[in-house]
Structure 1
Amino acid sequence: MPFLELTPSTNWQRVGASRYLAEIISNTPQEIEYKPIPPIYFTVESNFLLIGVQSDSAKPYWYLGANVSQYLYIAPDLGDANFPGGVQSSDQKKLGLNRLTLVNFQDYNISPYILLFEVPYWLRDLYIEVWQHIGGSSDSVQDALIDVKQRLERIEYKIDSINP
């Protein structure tokens, strides 16, 4: 598992921030009908993200702010198939309301890729802020293997120099 340098704040780059409102379909004295907020898209490059989701109209006990999925730009030759040029690559991740969520998508070495946000139909407004990790990271297992390999090479060199 990669070891991330989550701090300092310079390791994060804001990709975007936007506010969305559900469209009012009808407004009668009895009730207001809304058309749900449509899917929202952001383009990102990092598989480590901080995503904030906020709603002013949400009830205090609601948790779900949105579901987010990773779509890769892959365009295999599908002939006459009616599939888009993007492939959903992982399960949806749930984002809590009124908080930042650290999201880690699998790294397929394809960059950039699309984030697809699906907003629950009951939310009337939504603010989304997306940050991508641009700082250093290291794979501690990979680093340990490299260290072991270097030590073995030094031992082999010493053994070779002892036995002419």
Structure 2
Amino acid sequence: MKRLLVVAALFAALPGMIFAQAFRDMPRSGVASRPAPLLTSTHVTYVESAIGGPENVPPSQFLPQTERDHGGAIMDVAVFETGLASSRGASMNGVTLPHGSQYRTENYCGAGGWHVCRPGEEVQGFMRYWKLDGYQSGTFEQVTYSSRGQRFSARLFIR
């Protein structure tokens, strides 16, 4: 629990880029929670890069895009999944990202008032973090499949 509080304090105190960089290689949380319901949606929520800094991405019915130019030595994208997926993969400009590009997963609870899960809570969603270091612009896409074989796509045009 103490480790979780330290992580939460760091999250609140540090800008997103520093947070993403600091936790790139951190292992997944050991929080014991109940399993999530089936996957119902995915969307890109955040992008941050050396050139464009941090930027939240509001949900869109069309292809969302960043307001600012992004790219550089460091670029990260976060995708939120509501429910549990059976598999996923991602690409940038149609090229499959290498194994290890998804570097962090956080369990989320409290649909409507989302927060990182506490022990014993029912997981209802997941935030997946992807590293896109070295890319300058283009279309990022995460394709996710539910256990019933339904395909979900979260896309973002990065300027």
TM-score range, shorter chain: 0.3 to 0.5
Structure 2 length normalisation: TM-score? 0.34
Q: TM-score, normalised by structure 1?
A: 0.33
The structure number with the bigger radius of gyration is: 1
Report 1 or 2 for greater relative contact order, CA contacts < 8 Å, sequence distance ≥ 6. Answer: 1
